[in-house]
């Protein structure tokens, strides 16, 4: 199995089947093992074109001061958010990445937030003035119209847009 598995998600957009259950299991295995996966087999109306990707990756252009406002508790103990939020580049870890973990509240609002569940806590997001249009772009990406897959994973959607950049990622 490759370090970052490639998973064909097309079965998630169809009726219940053994293939769909296998795909769901592959996604869970990737999440439990490497924590990452690449997805193929998405319907054509899922918003993943280059322009939308560039729009989402603008978050990495925020000044460090603005990124610090989005930190999760591990990087700023005064923050309440344990799981959701920005994680800065850490040169001493094996994964060597920076990014932001985004929850469903970015698209569905505070009604899906559960403060006692780290996987459903509120996501700290950049304010509109700091990154005009980014929140709307993230919500659109998170909630593509009419292509919502169904999995047995009840804590977060199957297609979740973590904005993660590693030193080896190509620029948009």
30/88 Cα distance (integer angstroms): 22
Q: Are residues 144 and 71 in the same domain?
A: yes
Helix H or strand E segment including 23: helix 18-32
Q: Is residue 29 part of a domain?
A: yes
Q: Which domain holds residue 36?
A: 1-41
- pLDDT (mean) for 101-117: 91
162/169 Cα distance (integer angstroms): 14
CA within 13 Å, CB half, 163:
31
Read off the tokens for 123.
Answer: 């996501």
pLDDT of residue 43: 83
Residue 156 has pLDDT above 50, yes or no: no
pLDDT of residue 155: 38
Q: Are residues 129 and 146 in the same domain?
A: yes
Residue 164 has pLDDT above 60, yes or no: no
Total domains in the chain come to: 2
Would strands 85-87 and 98-101 be described as parallel, antiparallel, or unpaired? antiparallel
Q: Are residues 33 and 58 in the same domain?
A: no
Greater confidence (102 vs 155) lies with: 102
Residue 61 has pLDDT above 90, yes or no: yes
In 5-92 the beta strands, taken as DSSP E runs, fall at 6-8, 38-40, 85-87
Greater confidence (147 vs 2) lies with: 2
Percent of the chain whose pLDDT exceeds 70:
81
Read off the tokens for 26.
Answer: 């592959």
Q: Is residue 172 part of a domain?
A: no
Greater confidence (128 vs 34) lies with: 128
3 pLDDT tier (thresholds 50, 70, 90): confident
Q: Are residues 115 and 152 in the same domain?
A: yes
Helix H or strand E segment including 148: none
Q: Are residues 87 and 13 in the same domain?
A: no
């Amino acid at each position: 199995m490759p370090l970052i598995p490639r998973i064909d998600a097309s079965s998630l957009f169809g009726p219940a089947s053994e293939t769909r259950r296998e795909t769901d299991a592959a996604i869970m295995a990737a999440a439990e093992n490497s924590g990452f996966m690449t997805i193929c087999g998405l319907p054509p109306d899922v918003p993943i074109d280059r322009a939308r990707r560039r729009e989402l990756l603008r978050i990495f252009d925020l000044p460090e001061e603005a990124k610090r406002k989005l930190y999760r508790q591990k990087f700023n103990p005064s923050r309440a958010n344990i799981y959701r939020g920005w994680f800065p580049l850490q040169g001493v870890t094996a994964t060597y990445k920076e990014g932001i973990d985004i929850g469903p509240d970015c698209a569905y609002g505070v009604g899906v937030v559960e403060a006692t569940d780290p996987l459903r806590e509120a996501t700290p997001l950049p304010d509109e003035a700091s990154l005009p249009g980014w929140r709307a772009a993230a919500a659109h990406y998170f909630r593509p119209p009419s292509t919502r897959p169904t999995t047995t994973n009840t804590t977060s959607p199957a297609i979740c847009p973590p904005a993660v950049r590693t030193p080896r990622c190509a620029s948009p």
